[in-house]
């Protein structure tokens, strides 16, 4: 108890913590809302500064920044259909569809409330069950990961609207593109045509910006051709239906808060169990060192669709889908800290950097930290809660500031988006080649979309392709070439995951056939 | 009217470019290329050195993670960078290995070494709950069950694999007596070790440091002498195996950097690695601080190159075979792609979506202009610089979309410099500077 009080003092009595939290929240929202700038990059930029900070201040800055960045990724996703971070790619179409209906405030409000709820849930799990859950994380070897990745990939097909075969085609394109470059397991170049730049493969961040951003710009250019009116009144989103004949206080303070936060909290309260399920999925996937917030969002969305009353709305503006996916990707962030604190194994790239920062301060994460540095551990818990609470006002302001974008005429906005696409794809690796990748993927996305092939599975294929192949080769090398290695009776967890995978596909095929029978077009 | 705009643009740019010091070195941000991803040991050392150099030189030193290709990408970019002293590379042991595996032509001869930062010896780890408590026991187990035990640590043929194979050869075993499971790095290998997927892991001591408390046991380190931060770990030599493998990290410049600039950077690097802040940092990390000046580093690189050349050519590696080649997985995917494609073709011939507009000739031109603008940026930005290129392209697109110039001009002129300030100054993204050298 004394240690908890000490932690309270460390966090709340230190003005530096408050300064760090507010500054990094603002910075995080900014980074997250610019496609191409990732939370990992932001944390890496912060590392030299943390040298001068006390450990709890440094941790407060990192935790807050990442939590805010993952939420802020939803802002460009919703308004422009360019995912700000890969964790938002799963529901890009849903969010943009709502913006086109003039409901961007509702979509972002739900994303904000659910992100906060997911973050808080994750923090509570980290506090209460961290030690027990960490043991699960160490049960995952190559073969378990192989099945988990297959499940993740399947979710892209499950959540897609329209014919499943097209989603599978899109997924395969993504997987195939991911094999370009030096194969990590073979150290052998494939499809590189002797170009050293291609050794690194096709980066999924520039690819994502191209597939969603550039293709959206190109599509809008074509749409602009159709209306020859010279008016600049043409906007990206529909009009928000705010009535103007109310008092100033009503109009500028009460109504915006209600329109953004009200619908979100209402939805959350009516769907408590769904939120718990999504949070649980987020924490479990987030704590695995080989999977993170992006996969958590996909799987949660797929589960959400599977058990939804109106699965047909998914992909066309489902607010429930957005709620479940944003809950999961925020909950995953806290999940990543479970193995990091308990064993010193990073759960994602951010916690990898955090462990480096802690080591630099002569604090060794792992079992000892709970005995020797208990107040610090408690202060991490408190920081997680604080960070998610701070996200509410900062996120609200960001949504309101972002709403400004939808009011810019389309003719002015399109060239600026294109410039941001160029900047964003260059920012990650400072490579011109990435800009080229973005352009090619933009054209590919444009063509695919015209032919009703969904784009999001391409991104998931690009993200999961390399680890899937790695785990496949590792498992089959370990079992000396026999496929029995994938269903090793000594690894019950792998068998379980394989069974779930089989179930998902069998039920998808059965449902597909039943649908065909009930309405033969 | 448009002419006036162009003149105003040129004037503004000329004024803004006036504030530059051309005479002193360095007078603009320096790039430090790190061939490995954020979060790893090389990245954190890079960022520390960058931070210390920044304070010493008085200009920003920005770390760029040019990852991928087992280090090929980063090293190639560093060696082929413009030799003006504004691009440095954190070279790692892969520089001595990649060209022997014909993955690249780049070798230590393409770099001018500045300083060596540290060396990490390979070490061998098993789970604490495993039955092997000493190197001898593990050796005996491999001898009894050839081809049964699994090992990992890094990719196939990379540094820790070389270390393990060399040890086995040294004690009269065949490297293929253990199965090497290729992994992305030491972190996933250690996770796999804990999960029971492999039986031993070969990597450096600092990489496994946090797990040494109770999860893994170190059987020995492949160094001449014990590592100070891990003084209870015996060396292989003490255990009767005369085998050492060391990875290294160091700073290097591309060939052709002017001597005076080189000396400024080398002196700054020397001051950085002898500073208290750096020594404390490496001590906390568990790495050693055996900094080595440039001439000595050069000789060291030449020797390392020769040693690794011998190892990679020796039977140690010719004895190791692989079953599932690099094209196995892509072929599988190609088959799946063909199936999906034929399926979709059979269902509705990829009908164009109902809500997609038809593309008119002028629409096609719009598309071509948008694509052309990006291509133009790719071609021009490096020479002309970000500000001029981006402003011109933005203006061009506005013009094409019939945005009135009273909107287009101020937006282009205000937005582009603002973006430059945010990205290049605030977020350390090295945007091309070009003519203006802002």
Cis peptide before B26 (omega within 30 of 0): yes
Query: Residue A100 and residue A78: Cα distance in Å, rounded?
Result: 9
- Whether B227 has a pLDDT exceeding 60, the answer reads yes
Of A255, A45, A102, nearest to B60 by C-alpha is A45
- pLDDT tens digit string along B62-114? 888 887 777 888 898 899 888 889 999 999 998 998 888 877 888 999 999 99
Closest residue on chain A to B192 (Cα) = A141
Residue B105 has what DSSP assignment?
S
- The answer to whether position B159 is within a domain reads yes
- Tell whether A501 is covered by a domain: yes
Say if residue B233 is in the same domain as residue B314.
no
Where among B246, B276, B294 does a domain terminate?
A: B246
Measured between beta carbons, the chain B residues lying within 8 angstroms of A473 are 182, 324, 328-329
Tell me whether residue A236 is in a domain: no
- Tell me: do B237 and B161 sit in the same domain: yes
Phi, psi of B366 (to 5 degrees): -60, -45
Q: How many CA atoms lie within 13 A of A42 on its CB side?
A: 28
Q: Are A44 and B43 in contact (CB under 8 A)?
A: yes
Q: How high is the pLDDT of residue A330?
A: 94
pLDDT of residue B315: 61
Contact A429 B423 (CB under 8 A): no
Report the pLDDT value the prediction gives residue B321, as an integer from 0 to 100: 52
ipTM of the complex: 0.83
Tell me the backbone φ, ψ of residue A119, rounded to 5 degrees.
-60, -45
Give pLDDT tens digits for A422-464.
999 998 778 888 999 999 999 999 999 888 899 989 999 998 9
Instruction: For A320-370, give the DSSP string.
Output: HHHHHHHHHHHHHHHHTHHHHHHTS--SSHHHHHHHHHHHHTT---SHHHH
Phi-psi category of A96—alpha, beta or left, where left has phi over 0 and alpha has psi -120 to 50? alpha
Domain boundary at B287, B318, B349, which? Answer: B318
Nearest CB partner across the interface for B340, out of A141, A169, A481: A169
B159 and B220 together in one domain: yes
Structural domains of chain A, count = 1
d(CA A389, CA A338): 21
Task: Convert the pLDDT of each residue in B109-155 to its tens digit.
Answer: 999 999 999 888 899 999 999 999 999 999 999 999 988 899 998 87
Residue B253 and residue B115 share a domain: yes
Closest residue by Cα to residue B250 from B59, B30, B78: B78
Residue that the structure tokens 């939804």 belong to: A308
Contact assessment for residue B38 and residue A40, using Cβ atoms and an 8 Å cutoff:
yes
Tell me the CA distances in angstroms from B161 to A87, B98, B155, B189, one per residue in order: 34, 14, 7, 12
Which pLDDT score, from 0 to 100, does residue B290 have? 72
Spatial CA neighbour of A398 closest among A121, A117, A89, A78: A78
Identify the residue among A136, A166, A185, A367 best suited for mutation to test binding to B, counting B beta carbons within 10 A and taking the highest.
A185
Does the distance separating the beta carbons of A478 and B334 come in below 8 Å? no
Q: For residue B346, name the pLDDT band (cuts at 50, 70, 90).
A: confident
Q: Say which CATH number the domain at B177 has.
A: 3.40.190.10
Crossing angle of helices A319-335 and A263-270, rounded to 10°: 80
At how many degrees (to 10) do helices A432-450 and B361-384 cross? Answer: 170
Residue B10, in any domain of the structure: no
Q: Residue A237 domain-assigned?
A: no
SS3 A452: coil
Q: Is residue B210 part of a domain?
A: yes
B130 and B241 within one domain? yes
* Structural domain span for residue B173: 121-246
Within a domain: A242: no
Q: Do B115 and B254 sit in the same domain of this protein?
A: yes
Query: Cβ A478–B343 below 8 Å, yes or no?
Result: no
Lowest mean pLDDT among B20-29, B97-106, B288-297: B20-29
Q: Please check whether residue B14 lies inside any domain of the structure.
A: no
Judgement on whether residues B238 and B256 belong to the same structural domain of the protein: no
Q: What confidence tens digit (pLDDT) does each residue in B46-56 have?
A: 888 988 898 89
Closest CA–CA distance from residue A309 to any residue of chain B (Å): 27
CATH number of the domain to which B287 belongs: 3.40.190.150
Q: Which of A218-232, B248-262, B282-296 has the lowest mean pLDDT?
A: A218-232
Q: Are B108 and B197 part of one and the same domain?
A: no
> Is B137 within the bounds of a domain?
yes
- Residue matched to tokens 């009135």: B404
| Residues B406, B368 share a domain | yes
pLDDT confidence of residue A232: 44
Total domains in the fold of chain B: 3
pLDDT of residue A243: 44
Coil/strand/helix, residue A271: coil
Instruction: Tell whether B1 is covered by a domain.
Output: no
Q: Are B179 and B239 part of one and the same domain?
A: yes
Please check whether residue A45 lies inside any domain of the structure.
yes
d(CA B53, CA A76): 36
The answer on B36 and B79 residing in a single domain is: yes
Q: Which helix (H) or strand (E) holds A133?
A: helix A104-137
Residues of chain A with pLDDT under 50: 229-233, 238-244, 521
Rounded to a whole number of angstroms, the distance from the CA of A258 to the nearest CA of chain B is 33
Which residues, 6 or more positions from B340, have their beta carbon under 8 angstroms from its beta carbon?
Answer: A165, A166, A168, A169, A172
A343 → chain B, closest CA residue: B211
Q: Give me the pLDDT at residue B319, please.
A: 46
Query: Is there a single domain that holds both residue B138 and residue B105?
Result: no
**Domain encompassing residue A398:** 2-226+253-518
Question: How many angstroms separate the CA atoms of B273 and B291, rounded?
Answer: 7
In a domain, B126, yes or no: yes
Judging contacts by C-beta atoms under 8 Å, the chain B residues touching residue A414 are 397, 401
- pLDDT the model gives residue A247: 62
Query: Which of B261, B293, B318 is a domain's end point?
Result: B318
Q: What is the pLDDT of residue A290?
A: 77
The dihedral sign for the CA sequence A302, A304, A306, A311: negative
In a domain, B297, yes or no: yes
Please classify residue B211 by burial: count the beta carbons closer than 10 Å to its beta carbon, then call 0-12 exposed, 13-18 middle and 19+ buried: buried
A250-259, A276-285, B160-169, B421-430 — most confident range: A276-285
């Amino acid at each position: 108890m004394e240690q908890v009080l000490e932690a309270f003092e460390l966090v709340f009595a230190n003005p530096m913590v408050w300064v760090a939290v507010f500054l990094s929240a603002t910075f995080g929202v900014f980074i997250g809302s610019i496609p191409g700038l990732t939370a990992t990059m932001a944390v890496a930029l912060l590392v030299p500064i943390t040298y001068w900070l006390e450990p709890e201040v440094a941790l407060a800055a990192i935790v807050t920044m990442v939590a805010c960045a993952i939420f802020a990724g939803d802002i460009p996703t919703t308004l422009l259909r360019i995912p700000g971070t890969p964790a938002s790619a799963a529901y890009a179409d849903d969010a943009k569809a709502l913006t086109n209906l003039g409901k961007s405030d509702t979509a972002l409000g739900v994303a904000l409330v659910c992100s906060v709820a997911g973050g808080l849930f994750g923090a509570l799990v980290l506090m209460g069950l961290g030690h027990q859950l960490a043991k699960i994380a160490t049960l995952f070897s190559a073969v378990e990961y192989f099945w988990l990745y297959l499940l993740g990939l399947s979710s892209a097909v499950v959540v897609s609207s329209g014919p499943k075969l097209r989603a599978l085609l899109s997924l395969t394109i993504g997987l195939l593109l991911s094999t370009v470059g030096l194969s990590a397991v073979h150290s052998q170049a494939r499809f590189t045509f002797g170009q050293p730049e291609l050794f690194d493969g096709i980066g999924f961040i520039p690819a994502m910006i191209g597939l969603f951003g550039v293709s959206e710009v190109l599509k809008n250019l074509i749409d602009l051709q159709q209306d020859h009116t010279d008016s600049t009144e043409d906007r990206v989103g529909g009009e928000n239906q705010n009535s103007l004949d109310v008092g100033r206080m009503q109009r500028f303070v009460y109504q915006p808060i209600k329109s953004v936060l009200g619908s979100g909290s209402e939805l959350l309260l009516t769907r408590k169990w769904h939120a718990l399920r999504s949070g649980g999925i987020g924490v479990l996937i987030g704590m695995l060192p080989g999977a993170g917030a992006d996969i958590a969002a996909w799987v949660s969305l797929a589960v959400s669709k599977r058990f939804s009353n109106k699965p047909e709305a998914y992909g066309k503006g489902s607010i429930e889908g957005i709620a479940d996916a944003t809950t999961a990707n925020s909950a995953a962030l806290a999940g990543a800290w479970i193995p990091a604190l308990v064993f010193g194994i990073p759960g994602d790239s951010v916690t990898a950097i955090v462990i480096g920062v802690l080591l630099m301060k002569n604090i060794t994460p792992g079992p000892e930290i709970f005995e020797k540095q208990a107040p610090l551990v408690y202060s991490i818990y408190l920081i997680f809660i604080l960070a998610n609470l701070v996200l509410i006002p900062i996120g609200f302001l960001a949504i309101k500031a972002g709403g400004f974008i939808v009011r810019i005429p389309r003719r002015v906005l399109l060239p600026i988006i294109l410039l941001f696409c160029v900047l964003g794809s260059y920012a990650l690796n400072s490579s011109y080649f990435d800009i080229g990748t973005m352009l090619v993927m933009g054209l590919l996305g444009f063509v695919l979309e015209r032919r009703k092939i969904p784009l999001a599975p391409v991104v998931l294929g690009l993200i999961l392709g390399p680890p899937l192949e790695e785990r496949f080769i590792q498992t089959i090398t370990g079992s000396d070439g026999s496929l029995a290695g994938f269903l090793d009776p000594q690894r019950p967890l792998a068998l379980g995951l394989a069974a779930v995978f089989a179930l998902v596909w069998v039920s998808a095929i059965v449902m597909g056939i039943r649908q065909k029978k009930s309405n033969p077009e | 009217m448009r002419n006036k705009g162009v003149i105003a643009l040129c004037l503004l740019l000329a004024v803004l470019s006036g504030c530059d010091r051309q005479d002193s070195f360095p007078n603009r941000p320096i790039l430090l290329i790190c061939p490995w991803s954020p979060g790893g040991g090389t990245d954190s050392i890079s960022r520390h050195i960058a931070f210390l150099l920044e304070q010493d030189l008085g200009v920003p030193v920005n770390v760029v993670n040019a990852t991928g290709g087992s280090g090929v990408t980063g090293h190639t970019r560093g060696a082929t960078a413009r030799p003006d002293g504004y691009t440095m590379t954190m070279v790692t042991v892969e520089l001595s290995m990649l060209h022997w595996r014909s993955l690249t032509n780049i070798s230590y001869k393409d770099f001018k070494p500045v300083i060596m930062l540290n060396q990490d010896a390979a070490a061998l780890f098993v789970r604490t709950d495993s039955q092997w408590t000493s190197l001898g026991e593990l050796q005996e187990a491999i001898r009894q069950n050839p081809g049964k035990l699994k090992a990992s640590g890094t990719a196939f043929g990379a540094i820790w694999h070389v270390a393990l194979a060399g040890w086995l050869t040294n004690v009269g075993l065949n490297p293929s007596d253990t199965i090497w499971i290729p992994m992305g790095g030491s972190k996933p290998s250690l996770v796999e070790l804990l999960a029971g997927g492999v039986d031993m892991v070969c990597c450096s001591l600092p990489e496994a440091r946090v797990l040494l408390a109770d999860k893994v046991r170190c059987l020995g380190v492949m160094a001449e002498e014990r590592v100070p931060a891990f003084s209870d770990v015996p060396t292989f030599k003490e255990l009767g195996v005369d085998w050492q493998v060391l990875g290294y990290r160091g700073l290097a410049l591309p060939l052709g950097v002017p001597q005076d600039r080189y000396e400024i950077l080398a002196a700054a690097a020397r001051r950085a690695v002898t500073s208290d802040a750096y020594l404390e940092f490496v001590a906390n990390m568990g790495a050693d601080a055996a900094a080595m000046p440039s001439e000595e580093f050069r000789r060291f690189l030449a020797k390392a190159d020769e040693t690794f050349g011998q190892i990679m050519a020796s039977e140690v590696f010719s004895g190791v075979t692989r079953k599932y080649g690099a094209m196995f997985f892509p072929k599988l995917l190609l088959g799946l792609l063909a199936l999906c494609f034929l399926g979709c073709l059979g269902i509705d011939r990829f009908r164009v979506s109902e809500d997609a507009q038809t593309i008119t000739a002028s629409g096609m031109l719009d598309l071509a202009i948008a694509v052309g603008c990006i291509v133009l940026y790719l071609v021009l930005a490096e020479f002309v610089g970000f500000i001029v290129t981006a402003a011109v392209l933005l203006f061009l697109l506005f013009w094409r979309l019939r945005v009135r110039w009273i909107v287009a001009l101020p937006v282009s002129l205000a937005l582009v410099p603002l973006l430059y300030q945010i990205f290049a100054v605030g977020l350390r993204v090295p945007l091309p500077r070009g003519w203006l050298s802002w």
